[in-house]
Amino acid sequence: MKCSKTFKDEKPGVGLSGKPDNDQKYEYQKIQALDNFQAIRYGFYRKSDFKKEKIKRIVVNFNPFLKNINSSDPLIIAIKSLTKSFIGELVEFSKKLMHQFEESVDWRETSINKKIIFQALELCLFKHQHFRIKGK
């Protein structure tokens, strides 16, 4: 995964006063602490997005009473963020499984096999199902 420009190359944004915002300075400092691989992954994380309209359509399919919900409703935004988080964790777990199965020597650089993703999904769902049953 080669990328000529990473998030490390970006400078903090400028606020309305012409000076960089404190939040943006802090974010810029955090990005500078990442190594090149982490900066590339963070860039992909920032670019990835689930469309609000698609999330709304899925929510309405599961609960027709929410057909009049606005796309900018906090529920839609929360589901979007949970989905993004779950997909990120699934990819991380898949990479760990791939490394454990020694399918790849350099597990950071190779793409994930579909078989590994499905195994990771099954293990994640089994783990959460077991946790719910045990917690009751």
Nearest to 124 by CA among 95, 94, 99: 94
Name the residue ranges covered by the structural domains of the chain.
20-49, 50-136
Under 8 Å between Cβ of 116 and 94? yes
**DSSP structure string for 86-126:** HHHHHHHHHHHHHHHTTS-SSTTTSPPPHHHHHHHHHHHHH
Q: How many CB atoms lie within 10 A of CB 56?
A: 21
Q: What pLDDT, in 10s, does the model give residues 70-89? A: 888 898 989 988 888 888 88
Q: In terms of pLDDT, which residue wins out, 82 or 39?
A: 82
Options 3.40.50, 1.10.20, 2.160.20, 1.10.3470; which CATH number does 50-136 get? 1.10.20
Q: pLDDT value at position 50?
A: 85
Residue 20's beta-bridge partner residues?
14
Cα atoms in the Cβ-side hemisphere of radius 13 Å centred on 118: 3
Q: pLDDT value at position 90?
A: 86
- Say if pTM beats, i.e. exceeds, 0.85: no
Largest interatomic CA distance in the chain:
55
